[in-house]
Amino acid sequence: MIEELEKIPNSLVMRDGLEFKYFGSGTWKKSSSGKTLSVKNPYNGEIVGTVQACSTEEANQVILTANDSVECWNEKTQRERADVLMKAAKLMRDWANPLGYIMMKEIGKPLKSAISEILRTAEFFEATAEAGLQQEGEAIYGDTFKGFSRDKMSITYRVPLGVILCIGPFNYPFNLTGSKIAPALMAGNTVVVKPPSQGAISPLFFGLILEKAGVPPGVFNIITGKGSEIGDYLVQHPLINMISFTGSSETGKHLASVAGMKPLLLELGGKDAAIVLNDADLELTTKAIVSGAFSYSGQRCTAVKRVLPMPGIADDLIKLVKEKTLNLSIGNPEENATIGPLISSIQCDFVQGLIDDALEKGATLLCGNKREGNIMWPTLLDNVTTEMRIAWEEPFGPVLPFIRTKNIQEAIEISNKSEYGLQGMIFTENIDLAFHIAQELEVGIVQINGRSERGPDHFPFLGTKSSGLGTQGIKYSIEAMSRPKGMVLNLSDKGKLIKLCK
Ligand code: G3P
């Protein structure tokens, strides 16, 4: 681990050995609490490093600095802010291998996927810089409404909100933190990041990257600590002007209940269902379902979490999905095994509880239901009914239920009965029918003949019901992190030109 860290120039400034500091007001510091939190490798339990357990007073100091820095950052031109994001992207590309390695160690993501996550974030920063440069205001005449003329004109442009609190999840600790930081900075805001406790180390590198890229002290800050100790304090702080959060629906709902009138962007859980019609391309569908359900061991909010096949295709589909699932590699993330450890043993116990409940209620086990340490074998369950918890609850682990449905109407009903509404999928060659079904599904996005997923990152990404609030995606996030500022011009008759036509 130390060897990888040494590949990143100047990284010594942010740590003592494997004890990482937090970044506030442009400096790396240890918490005066004297306490640290251990980040353990979920694959083998080794301590990857420790991070500071900051106090509420330290959180307050960081927020005050971020607030004092809004004016200075907002005075920079769009071009200057875009240049900073471009430089940051370049550093991410240069350091993608060691950063990916560190992430692989702390969250057990396959090494290749962890490196791709860093590169995806670099691309996100570049595209955000480009989109920010295209931002435009608007001028509107008043004469749409009776009694008003073109002498009244509204002129709007966009201004930052102030200090944005960015709280990222463990499963994409770098990308889903970066996808909040880039639009926040581009829109002229300052940023306070609170990373997840598990997955806290890789996002700390944003401090180093952004400082080197030219972000002035105080504009970007990252504070570590227990969510239970500083989470509510950060969310409720009066100088936090907006919160962008990705995590569980439970935490998201709590956050919304304590945040008061702050604007929120919430990306929460899902129970994405794949409706498979009788004419679906079996090979394409199988590939999409298996990769959608089991990438990063199912620890994605957009994972395929239920399959609803029609009677004419169910047997063939299930056979093929089983064959492909049995071929998935299982083991060490450093060796790029598709199925690796879940983030914690508590999470494994939860997933096991869902499997046990389904089997007790009569589901058929097709494969899996085996555990070693934090690794759970990919598990397929057939003949799942709506009485079973796995039909409704989000496992965040490698288990996929097949709920055989009588017809399209029943599949739509089961799909919509979920408390979640992130994405839906329809597999068919009948595109007209797919569009009609898509219109019925109560979700943010419907994928036609593809697995549920967030990217590419300039697409809108949103969930309904318990799956989220607001819309992400590059231009949407910039909009969510800024507001229109308007001026109304009221021209008088002074100097009015005489018109010839009446
Ligand atoms: O779980 C978080 C969600 O954003 C997943 O992203 O790109 O794997 O669909 P993606």
- pLDDT tens-digit map of 246-259: 999 999 999 999 99
The CA 474 to ligand 1 mean position distance, Å, reads 15
Which tokens in the block code for residue 168?
Answer: 């990222």
The per-residue pLDDT for range 257-310, each reduced to its tens digit, is 999 999 999 999 999 999 999 999 999 999 999 999 999 999 999 999 999 999
pLDDT bucket at 502, cuts 50 / 70 / 90 = low
Ligand 1, pocket-test mutation among 454, 472, 476, most atoms within 8 A of CB:
454
What's the pLDDT score for residue 186?
Answer: 98
Helix (H) or strand (E) holding 51: strand 47-52
User: Which fold, 2-268+467-485?
Assistant: Aldehyde Dehydrogenase; Chain A, domain 1 (3.40.605)
Task: Assess whether the C-beta atom of 301 lies below 6 angstroms from ligand 1.
Answer: yes
Q: Is the CB of 302 under 6 A from ligand 1?
A: yes
- Going by C-alpha positions, the residue among 132, 179, 129 that lies closest to residue 160 is 132
Residues of the chain with CATH 3.40.605.10: 2-268+467-485
Among 302, 425, 452, 471, name the best residue to mutate to test ligand 1's pocket (greatest count of ligand atoms within 8 A of Cβ): 302
Q: What is the mean pLDDT of the chain?
A: 97
* Residue range(s) of every CATH 3.40.309.10 domain in the chain: 273-461
Return the DSSP state at 231.
Answer: I
| Range 77-87 average pLDDT | 98
pLDDT reading at 209 higher than 90: yes
Task: Kindly give the distance from the C-alpha atom of residue 135 to the centroid of ligand 1, in angstroms, as a whole number.
Answer: 26
Q: How confident is the model at residue 496, as a pLDDT?
A: 86
Q: Which residue type sits at 376?
A: M
- Active-site residue, 348 included: no
Nearest CA residue ID for atom 4, ligand 1? 454
Say whether pLDDT at 1 is over 90. Answer: no
d(CA 232, CA 257): 10
133-181 pLDDT, tens per residue? Answer: 999 999 999 999 999 999 999 999 999 999 999 999 999 999 999 999 9
Report the atom number in ligand 1 closest to the C-alpha of 300: 1
Inter-CA distances, 94 with 42, 115, 119, 202, Å: 27, 11, 9, 15
Is residue 189 within 8 Å of 481, Cβ to Cβ? yes
If one compares 500 and 320, the residue with the highest pLDDT of the two is: 320
- Amino acid 214 reads G
Measured in Å, residue 490 CA sits from the centre of ligand 1 at 48
pLDDT in tens, 446-492: 999 999 999 999 999 999 999 999 999 999 999 999 999 999 999 99
Distance CA(70)–CA(187), nearest Å, equals 11
Convert 451-489 to b/e letters by CB count within 10 Å (16 or more is b).
bbbbeebbeebbbebbbbbbbbbbbbbbbbbbbeeeeee
Q: Is the CB of 445 under 6 A from ligand 1?
A: no
Q: Is 501 a residue whose pLDDT tops 90?
A: no
Which of 354 and 493 is assigned the larger pLDDT? 354
Do the beta carbons of residue 175 and residue 196 sit within 8 Å? no
Enumerate residues 6+ apart whose C-beta is below 8 A from 37.
50, 51, 52, 53, 197, 200, 224, 225, 226
Q: Which atom of ligand 1 is closest in space to residue 299's alpha carbon?
A: 1
Write down the H helix ranges in 301-391. 314-326, 345-360
pLDDT in tens, 30-46: 999 999 999 999 999 99
Active site residue 301: yes
Number of residues that this document lists for the chain: 502
Calculate mean pLDDT across residues 113-122: 98
Q: What is the CATH number of domain 273-461?
A: 3.40.309.10
Q: Quick check: 18 and 38 in contact, CB under 8 A? A: no
Strand 22-24 to strand 27-29: parallel, antiparallel, or no bridges (unpaired)?
antiparallel
Residue nearest to atom 3 of ligand 1 (CA): 301
Give the closest residue (by CA) to ligand 1 atom 6: 454
Atom of ligand 1 nearest to the CA of 455: 7
Specify the pTM. 0.97
Burial tier of 75 (Cβ tally within 10 Å: 0-12, 13-18, 19+)? exposed
**Rounded to the nearest whole angstrom, what is the distance from the C-alpha of residue 219 to the centroid of ligand 1?**
27
Quote the ligand 1 centre to 452 CA distance (angstroms). Answer: 9
- To test ligand 1's pocket by mutation, which of 301, 396, 447, 452 has the most ligand atoms within 8 angstroms of CB? 301
Distance from Cα 311 to the centre of ligand 1, integer Å:
30
Ligand 1 atom closest to the CA of 176, numbered from 1: 4
Give CA–CA dist 358/418, Å, rounded: 17
Q: Choose the catalytic residue: 126, 301, 393, 453.
A: 301
Q: Quick check: CB of 393 below 6 Å from ligand 1? A: no
- SS3 assignment, position 21: coil
In the reported structure, the alpha carbon of residue 179 is separated from the centroid of ligand 1 by a whole-number distance in angstroms of 11
Task: Give the confidence band of 500 by pLDDT, cuts at 50, 70, 90.
Answer: confident
State the pLDDT confidence band at 495, using cuts at 50, 70 and 90.
Answer: confident
Per DSSP bridges, beta strands 152-160 and 163-167 are unpaired
> CA dist 279 to 49, 197, 316, 402, Å?
51, 46, 12, 18
Pocket probe for ligand 1: among 171, 422, 476, the residue whose CB has the most ligand atoms within 8 Å is: 171
The single-letter code of the amino acid at 326 is: L
Q: For residue 477, what pLDDT is reported?
A: 98
- If you measure from the C-alpha of residue 15 to the centroid of ligand 1, how many angstroms do you get, rounded to a whole number? 30
CA dist 467 and 464 (Å) reads 5
Task: Name the catalytic one among 267, 393, 394, 453.
Answer: 267
* Protein residue with its CA nearest to atom 9 in ligand 1: 453
pLDDT digits (tens, 9 = 90+) for 373-426: 999 999 999 999 999 999 999 999 999 999 999 999 999 999 999 999 999 999
Ligand 1 neighbour 300 (Cβ under 6 A): yes
| Paired sense of beta strands 163-167 and 242-246, if any | parallel
Separation of CA 157 and ligand 1 centre (Å): 32
Instruction: Say yes or no: CB of residue 453 within 6 Å of ligand 1.
Output: yes
What proportion of the chain, given as a percentage, has pLDDT over 70?
100
